[in-house]
A and B are shown apart, each in its own frame.
Chain A
Amino acid sequence: MTSVQFDREDAAGTLTVMASGTGRNGRQAVDAACVNAFRALLYDGIPGSQYHLPLINRAFGPTSGRHPYLERFDTPAGCKPFLTSSERIRRAVRPPGAKGAYALVRLRIHVAALRRELEHQQVIRSFGL
């Protein structure tokens, strides 16, 4: 029971999303929301934003599996360098069917820095031919 939705883009190179996650406790639920947000941005894109296309173009990745660098985004510690703010919404309406602790978090992601790092690690191609 997770979702990632576009919130706003109020500064160049950043993106604010509302992400939800579940876990055994509140802390884990917030971490799960963070990982869900990055997963959506990297592999699915965020509808309604300028980043509606996924950052990762699978056509250029390894033929099977994924680039080893991307594994860091499976953990909140790997995502945090690219977060500029994280705010848990205290009175979030818990969706029916959500198991365990539930968290709705407003995350501001520094997409420009994330993209630059992915380019540097040769996970995605730099702008150009």
Chain B
Amino acid sequence: MKAYQPFAILASLLVLWQPVRTDAQEMEEVPASRPLQPSIMVVPFARADQDMRTVLEQDEVLRVAVTKVKEAFDRRGFSTVDFRARVRQLQTDKAMEMENQSSLKQELIELSGADIWVETEANIARSSSGNGVTVLLTAFDAHSGLSLANKVGNSPRFYTEQFEKLAEKAVEGMAEDFLNTLQLKFDDMVLNGRPAALNITFAEQSDLDMDSFVAGQDRMLSEILEEWLAEHCFKGYYHIQGVTATKLLVDELRLPRSDEQGRPYRPTRFAAELRNFLRSLGLESTRDVQGGRIFITIQ
């Protein structure tokens, strides 16, 4: 009997070891090219004079619509940022100090950390042929304001006062289509880069302007900057809205989704690279980055 003991111990160890090996294998099978997930917040639609949180808390139909939209994201394996939780957090942090309600919305956009906002509106429609609910969904890039997806969904009409059920039906009939459209825009960003905007200006005390010739380059600053943009924007895509002696406005440029190491490429990094380039020309600058909007001020 004792002769079998080493085998029994070995067998026990194998049994214990096996699950660990399986876990490791499963971990290796996770696709390397997992998409970078943007942060998405589903918010209620509110007019400029309305407080979004109050609107949501007072409107049961809207709450159902918002929840159903979040559910649709969940079904695609995507977690959204909870609006009410984030508002509560912001209010605790600083929004309590604010008097203006419309500024809360702007504050939310800037501080929520959400890359994409999905605005949800639910309207009740009563008629002699039955009642219905119309749901409007609008997704936009929180940083650039770029519209990503828009859909209107109508529930079937029933002789009922259960508008929550009708709101569910309206969202169910459009959510997939809405997410597919959103995904098309994401695919476009993967292929053509993420949009951003750039504004280069001069400090008041600066002796330079866009027409200044840069030492050792024998070209105007605006020309040098344009060449740099062509080399550093994703696939060389940028669109100059206008150039004056004091300003260079790029209303749209494209940034890569990730760098060579697969890490997210942020507008802050683009701004840092541009500042380094300006420094190499002997020009000092300051930068301000708000989402996808980059402001460079040459000193």
Contact of B77 among A9, A57, A127 (CB under 8 A): A127
CB of B174 within 8 A of CB of A50, answer yes
| Docked CA distance A60–B186 (Å) | 12
A50 in contact with B37 given A128-B78, A129-B257 (CB within 8 Å) = no
CB of A13 within 8 A of CB of B35, answer no
Contacts of A13 on B, CB cut-off 8 Å?
Answer: 75
Given A50-B176, A59-B191, 15 extra CB contacts under 8 A: A12-B75, A12-B172, A50-B173, A51-B176, A51-B180, A60-B190, A111-B176, A125-B190, A126-B34, A126-B77, A127-B35, A127-B78, A127-B179, A129-B37, A129-B194
Whose C-beta in chain A lies nearest to the C-beta of B76?
A127
Tell me how far the C-beta of A9 lies from the nearest C-beta in chain B, rounded to whole angstroms: 7
Contacts of B77 on A, CB cut-off 8 Å?
Answer: 126-127
Contacts of B186 on A, CB cut-off 8 Å?
Answer: 125, 127-129
CB of B187 within 8 A of CB of A125, answer yes
Tell me how far the C-beta of A91 lies from the nearest C-beta in chain B, rounded to whole angstroms: 28
| Docked CA distance A128–B77 (Å) | 10
B146 touches A (CB below 8 Å):
no
Tell me how far the C-beta of A86 lies from the nearest C-beta in chain B, rounded to whole angstroms: 22
Contacts of B189 on A, CB cut-off 8 Å?
Answer: 129
Nearest first, the 5 A-B pairs at minimum CB distance are A128-B35, A50-B176, A127-B76, A50-B177, A128-B37
Q: Which chain A residues in 77-129 approach chain B with CB under 8 Å?
A: 111-112, 122, 125-129
Tell me how far the C-beta of B93 lies from the nearest C-beta in chain A, rounded to whole angstroms: 28
Q: Which of A's residues lie within 8 Å of B, judged by CB?
A: 9, 12-13, 50-53, 57, 59-60, 111-112, 122, 125-129
What are 10 contact pairs spanning A and B, CB under 8 A?
Answer: A12-B172, A13-B75, A60-B187, A60-B190, A122-B31, A125-B35, A128-B37, A128-B38, A128-B78, A129-B37
CB of B180 within 8 A of CB of A53, answer yes
| Docked CA distance A111–B180 (Å) | 13
CB of A122 within 8 A of CB of B33, answer yes
| Docked CA distance A126–B187 (Å) | 10
Q: Which of A13, A122, A126 has the most CB of B within 10 A?
A: A126
Contact of B180 among A12, A50, A59, A129 (CB under 8 A): A50
Tell me how far the C-beta of B165 lies from the nearest C-beta in chain A, rounded to whole angstroms: 14
B36 touches A (CB below 8 Å):
yes
Tell me how far the C-beta of A6 lies from the nearest C-beta in chain B, rounded to whole angstroms: 12
Whose C-beta in chain A lies nearest to the C-beta of B33?
A122
Whose C-beta in chain A lies nearest to the C-beta of B72?
A12
| Docked CA distance A65–B179 (Å) | 27
Contacts of A111 on B, CB cut-off 8 Å?
Answer: 176
Tell me how far the C-beta of A58 lies from the nearest C-beta in chain B, rounded to whole angstroms: 11
Tell me how far the C-beta of A39 lies from the nearest C-beta in chain B, rounded to whole angstroms: 18
| Docked CA distance A112–B71 (Å) | 13
B276 touches A (CB below 8 Å):
no
B184 touches A (CB below 8 Å):
yes
CB of B177 within 8 A of CB of A52, answer yes
Contacts of A57 on B, CB cut-off 8 Å?
Answer: 184, 187
CB of A127 within 8 A of CB of B183, answer yes
| Docked CA distance A57–B186 (Å) | 12
B59-76 contact mask (Cβ, 8 Å, vs A): 1 or 0 = 000000000000001011
| Docked CA distance A42–B175 (Å) | 19
